[in-house]
A = this chain, B = another copy of it.
């Protein structure tokens, strides 16, 4: 009943689909940011739901932790096996199983990435809208309740997963729903799994909602004299219920980072990056209305990207913002974080945070999916400089408390992982105990990603 005996049994069952090579173990023990590595004891590469079920049963028999792994892009060390055990690399389960254009849904395995899915969908006139920048796996995106630049219009993973197939901690395989658009038949297990970060089950199949590719798309950027002007523009746009497809804020530091990293020529001022979807008329109408709001807040003219290539370049630049920001201080250690507040508190949250970062003396560019009240900071630290690290941790702490004070959440989209675990009690109070009770009911031996999300030991 140990990790070792589990791995021995798994080797018998899986042959070369389990690895204990140092490279594999270390790769599956890393995170995208500043958390300490912890190599997995072994890495399994299942190729079917039945195989996942078999692996989970073996691990359950031996009390061995099992941690699902997608593309490893989560930012709070979600997939790091903090108590050792087997990393379950889901990336060989990467088939698009069925496209139903008439129902506007698609059935995928969890290892399909969002870019691969959209490439497959291109000819259908449909697309999957959730867009967290990174080319993450759809299973990992569901498990972290990911969102991104288009959530303001199309919602997050919460709104875009119709149902799932899941392997539970004892190896049982369940389906959480049907392909019907709505149902009132029982508890919503689909939403229970979304955002559960691999602690309640392993997602082995998903039915996702698709959207029609809009008849017309146009994208634009514009700059603002200060942060409040940009944020107030967003707030007014949302309150007027203009269905913008994207409305992204970047601060002056991030604008500078784009100039360096992506050879852009942006004025070093706060910007909004916008995209409009709809009929030709609707797009024009939306753009005109938002243009007026921009002007009323002292913003500059729209710089349009009408051609598809220009738009791709624009959003590629935006998606690489994290790496661009890092180029502001080459060789630095980066800490990325996100909070989300009610939109009425957004301007206050952003400006207080800006002032706080400035007072700390750290380099900390900001940006955000501000249409949802969600924004991010990246702190760029000199490796080994302990004082900077302490200052960053203090900033992070104050930022999280600020979110909670303002009636928001310590994470709008990145998730809990290790980095936000310490705030769960404060954010949820007694509801956090309820989460533990659910975890205990579905995974009594705590083998699925132990040490994460809930308070079990």
**A residues within 8 Å of B by Cβ?**
100-105, 144-147, 151, 156, 158-159, 168, 172-189, 191-192, 194-196, 200, 211-212, 235, 238-241, 279, 281-282, 285, 340-344, 372-374, 403-404, 407-416, 420, 423-424, 427-432, 434-435, 437-438, 440-442, 453-454
Contact = CB atoms under 8 A, between A and B. Distances in A.
A409 B187 contact: no
A279 B278 CA distance: 13
Nearest to A126: B241
A185 to B, nearest CB: 5
Contact of A182 (B147, B191, B435): B147
B186 A453 contact: yes
Nearest to A236: B102
A416 B186 contact: yes
A416 B431 CA distance: 26
A148 to B, nearest CB: 11
Given A100-B342, A188-B192, A191-B191, A181 B373 contact: yes
Contact of A189 (B179, B211, B410, B434): B434
B429 A181 contact: no
A454 B185 CA distance: 11
Contact of A151 (B158, B182, B374, B431): B182
Nearest to A410: B185
Contacts of A240: 212
A344 B281 contact: no
A182 B181 CA distance: 21
Nearest to A144: B184
A185 B430 contact: no
A182 B342 CA distance: 9
Contacts of A177: 409
Given A176-B431, A188-B191, A189-B434, A182 B340 contact: yes
Contact of A413 (B168, B184, B423): B184
A185 B407 contact: no
A372 B191 contact: no
Contact of A184 (B186, B211, B238, B412): B412
Contacts of A435: 186-187, 189
A195 B240 CA distance: 31
Contacts of A428: 174-175, 185-186
25 contacts: A103-B343, A104-B239, A105-B342, A145-B188, A178-B407, A179-B407, A181-B342, A181-B372, A181-B373, A182-B340, A183-B340, A183-B409, A184-B413, A184-B414, A184-B415, A185-B423, A186-B432, A186-B435, A188-B194, A189-B431, A191-B191, A212-B240, A212-B241, A438-B438, A440-B441
A342 B180 contact: yes
B429 A434 contact: no
B184 A146 contact: yes
A429 B412 CA distance: 34
Contacts of A192: 187-188, 191-192, 438
A189 B429 CA distance: 13
A176 B156 CA distance: 18
Best-buried of A159, A188, A373, A437 by chain B (most CB within 10 Å): A188
Contacts of A431: 174-176, 186, 189
Contacts of A427: 178, 185-186
Contact of A186 (B147, B186, B195, B212): B195
A214 to B, nearest CB: 8
